[in-house]
Amino acid sequence: METSRVELNFINRNGVVPIYYQIQQQLFERIRAGDIKAGDAIPSEQEISTRLGVSRMTARLAIKSLCELGIVYSEQGKGTFVSGLKLEKNFRQVLSFTEEMERSGRRPRSRVLSFEVVPAEGDAAQALGLKRQEKVIQLKRLRIADSVPMGTECSHLPVRLCPDLLETFDPGTSLYRILSERYRIQIAIADEIVEAGLAEAEDARLLRIRKGSPVFSFTRTSYIQQGQPVEYVKSIYRGDRYKIVNRLTRLNREFFQHGMKAV
């Protein structure tokens, strides 16, 4: 859509509602009504400023507030675009972030926060069945889809399974892919726990959301077919960009009468 066709209404300069918020709400209503669709550009700071006779700072604040809500995202030198609908986190399949984004038609990217060998501690050591201080590879990444920061992930893998991973792996690409292709580690099943929480300061900064914004906290332990744990991951994902979906089945009455036993 041409951004020049997006209508912006009169601004009430004498009311109690901040001007930037009035602009934000106008743009949000256009998006919700489908006048501006996912992937379309919204008017630039300069366009908003010129059309409504407001300062560029006010226009910038309106756009920034939409970005913080996850409704739009900015690409340097290109403009600001409408985000898609919430991504579905599907618990029926073991997929990497890259695989999930590619299936949904989005462009995955990762920003590496750290990639190093560290001693196994706490939950990671327990989940992977390692002795305390046994070495693990720790990979922390900011996960991005279509220029929108989606979540932070911290993965742990036993060094003995992939001792040269630091030298052979580009941490901006798919970890599961290289585990499969180079190390013949085929992840077959995973236990994943999801909890609702609030963004702490560091995650909020990385995800470009306000501190205290709703987030999903994921804890995943992945196993190969033989049942050996090979990966432990702690992730924080934006609550405004994800929704959890699952398929539940109701067991028949006969199963309840004959198939379940108390333990």
CATH of residue 8: 1.10.10.10
Does residue 82 have a pLDDT over 80?
A: yes
3-state secondary structure the chain: CCHHHCCCCCCCCCCCCCHHHHHHHHHHHHHHCCCCCCCCECCCHHHHHHHHCCCHHHHHHHHHHHHHCCCEEEECCCEEEECCCCEEEECCCCCCHHHHHHHCCCCEEEEEEEEEEEECCHHHHHHHCCCCCCEEEEEEEEEEECCEEEEEEEEEEEHHHCCCHHHHCCCCCCHHHHHHHCCCCCEEEEEEEEEEEECCHHHHHHHCCCCCCEEEEEEEEEEECCCCEEEEEEEEEECCCEEEECCCCCCCHHHHHHHCCCC
What is the tens place of the pLDDT at every residue in 143-188? Answer: 888 778 889 999 999 999 999 999 999 988 888 889 999 999 988 8
Residues 128, 93, single domain; the answer is: yes
110 and 195 in a common domain = yes
Domain ends where: 47, 82, 117?
Answer: 82
The percent of residues above 70 in pLDDT, for the chain, comes to 81
Q: Into how many domains does the chain fold?
A: 2
- Does residue 118 sit in the same domain as residue 33? no
Output the pTM of the full model: 0.61
- Which of residues 230 and 72 earns the better pLDDT score? 230
**pLDDT tens for residues 98-154?**
666 666 666 778 899 999 999 999 999 999 999 877 999 999 999 888 778 889 999
